[in-house]
Amino acid sequence: MRTDVVRVYKSVHTWTGIVTGLILFIAFYAGALTMFKEPLDRWIAPPAPVSTAGLEKGSELIDGALALRPEAATGFSLVLAEGNGRPLHVTWERMRNDPDPWSAILAPDGSVEVTQLDPAGIGLLVDIVHRTAGVPGDLDLGTAVTGIASALYVVALVSGVIILLPSLVKDFLVLRVGRNLKRMWLDAHNVVGIVSLPFHIVMALSAVVFGLHDQFYDTLNEVVYEGRMRTVIEGSSPMRTLKRDPRPAAMLPPAEILARVKAFEPGFAPASLQYQGYGTGGALVRVWGADPRYLVRREGFLLMSAATGAVVDTEYMPGHQGTWSSAVSAFFSLHFGSFGGGTVRWGYFFLGLAGAFLFYSGNLLWIESRRKTERRHGGLVAQSRSTALMAAGTVGVSLGCIAGLSLTIAAGKWLHGAVEDLNGWHHGVYYAVFLGACVWAFVRGAARAGVELLWATAAATAAIPATTLLAGLLPGLGLWVSDSLGVDLVALAGALVFAWMARANARRIRQGPADSVWSGRRLRLEEAAGTAD
């Protein structure tokens, strides 16, 4: 391939990476944590209330809950007890995406206990940070920003592959560890990028669709459907054939509904029953669940009549979808890692961390390249203000994101039950730490702030297993030890890694090139002119 062509693609790759790198770092790091949102929520929340109610008590629980809260009849869910860390319970919301939904369980004496849930909220925060890269305010704005960054990310992927083509065979999986730190970082960047390329292609393309779906729909509505897309969608919905029947009617017991689901598809594992219009002839129930044999978006569902048990629609039922729906479900599943069980979740977790490393290392390579360019052009090798600002921004944003998420996870257990709006506190702690780290990095400079923030990140991450340790040693604190000990082990490993990185960065400050933004030594002009790498 011609050298001038490679040079053009290298420039494209560099600048698309620089523009989107920090946004995608946050999206990938938080995305790695979304693989374990449920364990994180269980780590923070106290043990579930005790209830011996089985599925045969489902109708009794529903009737008792609706007698106390009749407004829930328009829409509620019966969540099954198996494998979700909570007993059989009914949940409903006052509004869409209600952060504080209501719940009802059957107490051991047979009475119905209704409580407003105080969810851990960390799963919601991690998901929002992942989808919006932490852009505060309007959710749609944040997802659009992530979508645009993902579109540029596609360009960076394509140009990066073109750059590597001339040396791909010779340098594939080569990692040269030595005194030349830039070469080592470049090799690591290339190895991670090539090995995880299929994963990154899936993430990039799917994130573009998720982030810019409103814009896509608006364009399709005008260009393809001539403003009639909503009419077309409603016309193809299975709900169009259903007649509203508000007359009172008896509902099938939940056990009977699940028996019919099992007869229809034995491999489907139900998790919850979502009712609409309960107690009427037109009542519907979505039986949500999973089938490990198929790729679906987290869960699929079978739509049935709650009164007769008749199957209404299978368009979202794993294994019973049409060609188009199956393709869309597979597309979603590949993004969310909702297949293959724990093995895939752990794989996506480490691939997400590797993706964050890819963007972080890309920024470091750009910073080091600027230093060498200035030396080649005969400058004083005192790096430009833009380079220093990029270095500080890289340190502040990346470590601020990690420390903020770690600290708000640890704080969640201390705050649970002590504050009214735990979800709001999670956001407050995260953004306070994130913004504080960014300010600190720009005030202190990349070199000093890098070491200081790494130690702070190590401490924030170590606070997670330290909290569990204190809960076990000092029961009087009112804390609890959850069954999600894997959270503590991963956090402990992360804290040790960050501490090791802090020591390595401190050593680089003392011993690294004096003309680098990562050096803590004072530059003298006569040294800068002749400093060797």
276-313, pLDDT tens digit by residue?
999 999 899 999 998 878 877 778 899 999 999 999 88
Q: State the average pLDDT over residues 223-246.
A: 70
528 pLDDT band (50/70/90 cuts)? very low
Q: Is residue 428 over pLDDT 90?
A: yes
531 pLDDT band (50/70/90 cuts)? very low
527 pLDDT band (50/70/90 cuts)? very low
Residue 129 tokens read as: 């940070």
Window from 263-277, 410-424, 447-461, 464-478 with minimum mean pLDDT: 410-424
DSSP, residue by residue, 281-297: TT-EEEEEEE-TTS--S
Structure letter (DSSP) for residue 240? G
The number of residues in the chain equals 533
510-522, pLDDT tens digit by residue?
776 666 777 765 4
Phi, psi of 114 (to 5 degrees): -110, 125
Per-residue pLDDT at 529: 45
Question: Which of these, 442, 407, 413, lies nearest to 427 by C-alpha position?
Answer: 407
177-215, pLDDT tens digit by residue?
555 556 666 666 677 777 788 888 888 888 888 888 788
Most confident listed range (73-82, 215-224, 344-353, 372-381): 344-353
56 pLDDT band (50/70/90 cuts)? confident
Per-residue pLDDT at 436: 97
What are the sequence ranges of the domains in the chain? 46-118, 379-533
Q: Is residue 525 over pLDDT 70?
A: no
Per-residue pLDDT at 371: 64
38 pLDDT band (50/70/90 cuts)? confident
What are the residues whose beta carbons fall under 8 Å from the beta carbon of 50, sequence distance 6 or more?
87, 108
Residue scoring higher pLDDT (189 or 239): 189
Q: Global pTM?
A: 0.84
Report the half-sphere exposure of 217 (CA within 13 A, side-chain side): 11
Contact of 25 with 356, CB cutoff 8 Å: yes
176 pLDDT band (50/70/90 cuts)? low
Q: State the average pLDDT over residues 255-267.
A: 93
Q: State the average pLDDT over residues 452-477.
A: 94
Percentage, residues of the chain above pLDDT 70: 80
Q: State the average pLDDT over residues 318-345.
A: 82
Residue scoring higher pLDDT (530 or 62): 62
Report the half-sphere exposure of 407 (CA within 13 A, side-chain side): 23
Per-residue pLDDT at 52: 61
Per-residue pLDDT at 526: 37
Residue 312 DSSP SS3 = strand
374-421, pLDDT tens digit by residue?
555 555 456 677 778 888 999 999 999 999 999 999 999 999 878 888
Window from 42-56, 210-224, 363-377, 515-529 with minimum mean pLDDT: 515-529
Question: Which of these, 120, 118, 121, 192, lies nearest to 157 by C-alpha position?
Answer: 192
Residue scoring higher pLDDT (528 or 52): 52
Give the helix/strand (H/E) hosting 76.
Answer: strand 75-79
Q: State the average pLDDT over residues 212-240.
A: 74
Distance, CA of 7 to CA of 206 (rounded, Å): 29
Per-residue pLDDT at 369: 72
Distance, CA of 151 to CA of 147 (rounded, Å): 6
As a whole number, the mean pLDDT across the chain is 82
Distance, CA of 446 to CA of 391 (rounded, Å): 6
Per-residue pLDDT at 76: 93
Q: Is residue 422 over pLDDT 50?
A: yes
Per-residue pLDDT at 256: 94
Give start and end residues of each alpha helix (H) in 416-484: 422-444, 446-473
Place of tokens 């969540």: 79
Per-residue pLDDT at 465: 96
524 pLDDT band (50/70/90 cuts)? very low
Per-residue pLDDT at 128: 92
